Structure 1
Amino acid sequence: MSTGTAHHFSFLLNTSDYRILRMDEDHDRMYVGSKDYILSLDLHDINREPLIIHWPVSPQRKTECVLSGKDTNGECGNFIRLIEPWNRTHLYVCGTGAYNPVCTYVNRGRKPMVRRVHLDTCEAQEYVFHLEPGKEDSGKGKCPYDPKLNSVSALINGELYAGVYIDFMGTDSAIFRTLGKNAVMRTDQYNSRWLNDPSFVHVHLIPDSNEKNDDKLYFFFREKSSGMGQSPKSQSRIGRICLNDDGGHCCLVNKWSTFLKARLICSVPGADGIETHFDELRDVYIQPTQDTKNPVIYGVFSVSGSVFKGSAVCVYSMADIRMVFNGPFAHKEGPNYQWVAYTGKIPYPRPGTCPGGTFTPNMKSTKDYPDEVINFMRNHPTMYNAVYPVHRRPLVVRTNVDYEFTTITVDQVTAADGNYEVLFLGTDRGSVQKVIVLPRDDLQTEELVLEEVEVFQVRSQQLYVASPVGVTHLALHRCDVYGEACADCCLARDPYCAWDGNSCSRYSASQKRRSRRQDVKYGNPIRQCRGYNSNTNKNTPETVQYGVEGSSTFLECQARSPHAAIKWHLHRDNSDRRREVRTHNYIYCICKWYRFGIILFRHTGCQ
Structure 2
Amino acid sequence: MVWITIPILIWILASCDYFGNAQPVTYFQTHDLSVRYFNDSTSCDGIDAPTSGQTLYFRHLVLSERQHDVLYVGAMNRIYKLNKTSMECMNAKELFPDQRQKERCHVQGKRKVPDCQNHIRVIMEWEPGELFVCGTGAYSPIGYHLDEVSLNMSGSTSRSLGMCPFDPLDNATSLLIDNGNPGNATVPYFGTYSDFIKNSPLFYRPSFSANGTDYSEKGTDTEDIKWLNFPQFVGSFDEGNEVYTFFRETAIEYPDKDAHKTYSRVAKVCKNDLGGGYSSKKKWLSFQKARLNCSIPGPEPYAFDQIYDIYKSDDMYFALFFREGENLNASALCMFRKADIERTFAGRFQEKMRSGTWHTVSDADNPAPRRDNCTVHDLGLHKFDSLSKYQLMDGNVNPLYDRPIYYKPGVQLTRLVVGREINGSRNIYMASDMGDIYDLFLKTYHSSKTFTVVLNAVYSIFESPQAVRNLQIQKEALYIGTDTSVARVDLDAVCDKFSRNQIDGCVLNSRCIWCSTNNTCIPQSIGVCENGRIDSNLITDTSTILKSLNIPEVLQRRKREVAVSGDAFLPIEDHVYRVSDVVWTKGTNGTILALSPEKFIVSKRGALFIRNVQDCDRGNYTAEKKDDGRLLAKVELDVKNPNSEKEEEDEWIQYFNDWSATFGNLKSCWAKTMGNCSGSPKLENPQTSHAP
**Shared fold (TM-score, shorter chain, > 0.5):** yes
Gaps of 5+ in 2: 1-28, 42-49, 179-185, 210-214, 464-472, 594-599, 625-629, 634-692
State the partner residue of 1:393: 403
1:569/1:244 Cα in 2 relative to 1: closer, same or farther (>3 Å)?
Answer: closer
For residues 37-76 of structure 1, the aligned pairs below 5 Å read 37-46=78-87, 48-71=88-111, 73-76=113-116
Q: CA deviation at 1:452?
A: 0.9
User: Matched residue of 1:44: which SS?
Assistant: coil
- 1:404 is the counterpart of 2:412: yes
- 1:237 is the counterpart of 2:265: yes
1:605/1:343 Cα in 2 relative to 1: closer, same or farther (>3 Å)?
Answer: farther
Q: 415, 422, 429: which one pairs with 1:424?
A: 429
For residues 178-193 of structure 1, the aligned pairs below 5 Å read 178=206, 180-181=208-209, 182-193=215-226
State the partner residue of 1:370: 384
- Cα RMSD after superposing both structures: 3.7
1:592/1:314 Cα in 2 relative to 1: closer, same or farther (>3 Å)?
Answer: same
Distance in 1 between residues matched to 2:608 and 2:208, nearest whole Å: 64
Gaps of 5+ in 1: 109-127, 208-214, 289-294
Q: CA deviation at 1:221?
A: 0.8
1:605/1:234 Cα in 2 relative to 1: closer, same or farther (>3 Å)?
Answer: farther
The one-letter amino acid paired with 1:10 is N
1:446/1:133 Cα in 2 relative to 1: closer, same or farther (>3 Å)?
Answer: closer
State the partner residue of 1:482: 498
Structure 1 stretch displaced more, 505-514 or 14-23? 505-514
Q: CA deviation at 1:57?
A: 2.0
Q: 158, 162, 172: which one pairs with 1:151?
A: 172
Q: CA deviation at 1:523?
A: 6.6
The one-letter amino acid paired with 2:417 is T
User: Matched residue of 2:364: which SS?
Assistant: coil
For residues 1-80 of structure 1, the aligned pairs below 5 Å read 2-5=30-33, 6-12=35-41, 13=50, 14-27=54-67, 28-46=69-87, 48-71=88-111, 73-80=113-120
Q: CA deviation at 1:74?
A: 2.6
The one-letter amino acid paired with 2:390 is H
User: Matched residue of 1:256: which SS?
Assistant: coil
Q: What percentage of residue pairs aligned between the two structures are identical?
A: 22
Distance in 2 between residues matched to 1:432 and 1:134, nearest whole Å: 40
Q: CA deviation at 1:446?
A: 3.2
State the partner residue of 1:210: none
Q: CA deviation at 1:83?
A: 0.9
State the partner residue of 2:198: 170
- Alignment check: 8 A CA contact 2:506 2:512 kept: no
Distance in 2 between residues matched to 1:381 and 1:554, nearest whole Å: 64
TM-score, scaled relative to structure 2: 0.70
Distance in 2 between residues matched to 1:304 and 1:582, nearest whole Å: 36
Distance in 2 between residues matched to 1:475 and 1:606, nearest whole Å: 33
Structure 1 stretch displaced more, 15-24 or 216-225? 15-24
Q: 275, 300, 319: which one pairs with 2:301?
A: 275
State the partner residue of 1:463: 478
Q: CA deviation at 1:45?
A: 2.4
Q: CA deviation at 1:254?
A: 1.2
State the partner residue of 1:319: 339
User: Matched residue of 1:261: which SS?
Assistant: strand
- 1:160 is the counterpart of 2:219: no
Q: CA deviation at 1:269?
A: 1.7
1:89/1:334 Cα in 2 relative to 1: closer, same or farther (>3 Å)?
Answer: closer
Q: CA deviation at 1:508?
A: 5.0
Q: 227, 249, 257: which one pairs with 2:285?
A: 257
Give the number of the structure whose residues are more often helix, by fraction. Answer: 2
Q: CA deviation at 1:551?
A: 12
Distance in 2 between residues matched to 1:594 and 1:77, nearest whole Å: 74
Q: CA deviation at 1:593?
A: 9.7
Structure 1 stretch displaced more, 332-341 or 320-329? 332-341
Cα-to-partner distance string for 1:411-461 (whole Å, 9 max, x where unaligned): 1242xxx32132111122221111123457654643310001123322231
Structure 1 stretch displaced more, 177-186 or 88-97? 177-186
1:529/1:267 Cα in 2 relative to 1: closer, same or farther (>3 Å)?
Answer: closer
Cα-to-partner distance string for 1:564-597 (whole Å, 9 max, x where unaligned): 689999989xx87799886877499999896998
- Alignment check: 8 A CA contact 1:569 1:599 kept: no
State the partner residue of 2:524: 507
TM-score, scaled relative to structure 1: 0.79
The one-letter amino acid paired with 1:221 is F
State the partner residue of 1:91: 131
User: Matched residue of 2:396: which SS?
Assistant: coil
Q: CA deviation at 1:602?
A: 9.5
1:179/1:15 Cα in 2 relative to 1: closer, same or farther (>3 Å)?
Answer: farther
Distance in 1 between residues matched to 2:198 and 2:189, nearest whole Å: 19
User: Matched residue of 1:130: which SS?
Assistant: coil
The one-letter amino acid paired with 2:321 is F
Distance in 2 between residues matched to 1:565 and 1:392, nearest whole Å: 24
1:346/1:68 Cα in 2 relative to 1: closer, same or farther (>3 Å)?
Answer: closer
- 1:451 is the counterpart of 2:457: yes
